[in-house]
Amino acid sequence: MVPLLLLSGMAAPALAQPMPEQVRDGAVALQARRQGRLLPLPEIEKRVVPTMRDAQYIGFDLEMPSGIYTLKFLRDGAVIWVDVDGRTGQVLGRTGR
């Protein structure tokens, strides 16, 4: 019986550790997407990528809980960031040239 108590006592702190921020944000984003509160990335890309002529699309970030997508582009060696409201698809701003 003693080994079981020791084992259960050792397992409890591991379960109590906080979830990593990336995992938590990913879960929040997935839930928001499933509930229709966040547009899917392909929809955001379909709206923004064609407007960035002469620039190479290199990826995105999603900030949670704000729901802001930041699409990243490369043009002539310079990075351009386009912030998009993930709820509406509206471009909020652009940084870079």
Confidence at residue 3, expressed as pLDDT on a 0 to 100 scale: 46
Domain 2-95 has CATH 3.10.450: yes
What integer pLDDT is reported at residue 4 of this predicted model? 42
Q: What is the pLDDT of residue 1?
A: 45
Low-confidence stretches of the chain (pLDDT < 50) are 1-12
Domain coordinates in residue numbering, the chain: 2-95
| pLDDT number for residue 93 | 97
- How confident is the model at residue 20, as a pLDDT? 60
In 3D, which of 17, 18, 31 has the Cα closest to residue 64? 31
Give pLDDT, residue 68: 95
Report whether 69 contacts 84 (CB < 8 A).
Answer: yes
In the prediction, which pLDDT does 8 show? 44
